[in-house]
Amino acid sequence: MAILNQFLNNNPECGECELHAMRVHQPDHTGCNWSAEVDFPREEEDHLPTRLAAAKSIIVVMREQYNMLQ
């Protein structure tokens, strides 16, 4: 969780993205066993599509590389 949060905070394209929640679950079709939710509490509506796309791309890369220990 700390690694993902650091990547999101260090990417200016994510804006004021906050890691809202992470869930560990059975591996899905990608083989990954976790998912994440982000929130943008202080972003203007006009910027949300770009911010969300940037955060999603970071989460996808992280899901391809890491699984959570259970």
Asked whether residue 16 is domain-assigned, the answer is: yes
Better-scored residue on pLDDT, 42 or 70? 42
Asked whether residue 70 is domain-assigned, the answer is: no
Asked whether residue 24 is domain-assigned, the answer is: yes
Residues 6 or more apart in contact with residue 14 via CB below 8 angstroms: 8, 51, 54, 55, 58
Asked whether residue 40 is domain-assigned, the answer is: yes
pTM for the model: 0.86
How does pLDDT run across 49-67, given as a tens digit for each residue?
999 999 999 999 999 999 8
- C-alpha 44/C-alpha 23 separation (Å) is 27
Q: Domain tally for the chain?
A: 1
Domain extent at residue 26? 2-65
